[in-house]
Amino acid sequence: MLKKNNIILYSFIVSLSALSFYLAKDKTYKAISTTKVTDFEAEHQDAFVKDSVASVKAFQKVYKVLMSPRCLNCHPSGDVPLQGDDSHIHAMLPKRGADGKGLYAMKCTNCHQPNNSEGVHTPPGHENWHLPPADMKMVFQGRTAHQLAKQLIDPKQNGNKDIKKLIEHADDGLVMKGWDMGEGRTKPPMSHAEFKEAWITWMKTGAYAPKP
């Protein structure tokens, strides 16, 4: 009789444990499902898996590109763009202007034509050459990896971009221009394809910021 009671008690404990696990799992699922950031993430839920180690590792690669002259020069802390592989102040001293496209007669596109100019160290070109606007400067210069990672995912500092728009931004014309700046200029420290992979990996694994 005692043995039978023990079996019944053991069965009850196992059933209770299974029920607790199910409820906990169901609660966790509901918590995840109610904290969706965007419809884009909801549609691609399986592709977003938080992994702080992989995320920080990916951002370290991203950071190297963003701090290279090809990106840094157009994201200065001041209102004058930087120039050259040593990121010195632009020789013509153009100013940002409210829309980022220059001030008064000194418009960016006066010198930066739709295509690269011929010759070594001549103005690189793009039809929409500009700095970030005055009300959203998106400064890279002087930012630590921790600071820049936090800034990049903040819509109030990144041009009102959500995760979907940030992922798409890797193929923006001016971003890609960094790998096609004409003769005499070094390219970012990795290919655009490698940068894009790191950029997307960083965000899809949680967009974690390296420690300060």
The answer for 106, left when phi > 0, alpha when psi is -120 to 50, beta otherwise, is: beta
Low-confidence ranges of the chain (pLDDT < 50): 2-10, 12-37
Domain boundaries, the chain: 1-35, 39-92+138-204
Cβ partners under 8 Å of residue 52, min gap 6: 205, 206, 208
Q: Are 142 and 83 in contact (CB under 8 A)?
A: no
Quote the tokens at residue 95: 């100013």
To which residue do tokens 């930087």 refer? 82
Q: How far apart are CA 117 and CA 98, in angstroms?
A: 26
Chain-centre distance for alpha carbon 63: 9
Encode pLDDT of 82-134 as tens digits.
Answer: 999 999 999 999 999 999 999 999 999 999 999 999 999 999 999 999 999 99
Residue listed under structure tokens 């419809």: 39
Contact 105, 158 (CB under 8 A): no
What pLDDT was estimated at residue 4?
47
State the pLDDT at residue 102. Answer: 97
pLDDT score recorded for residue 48: 81
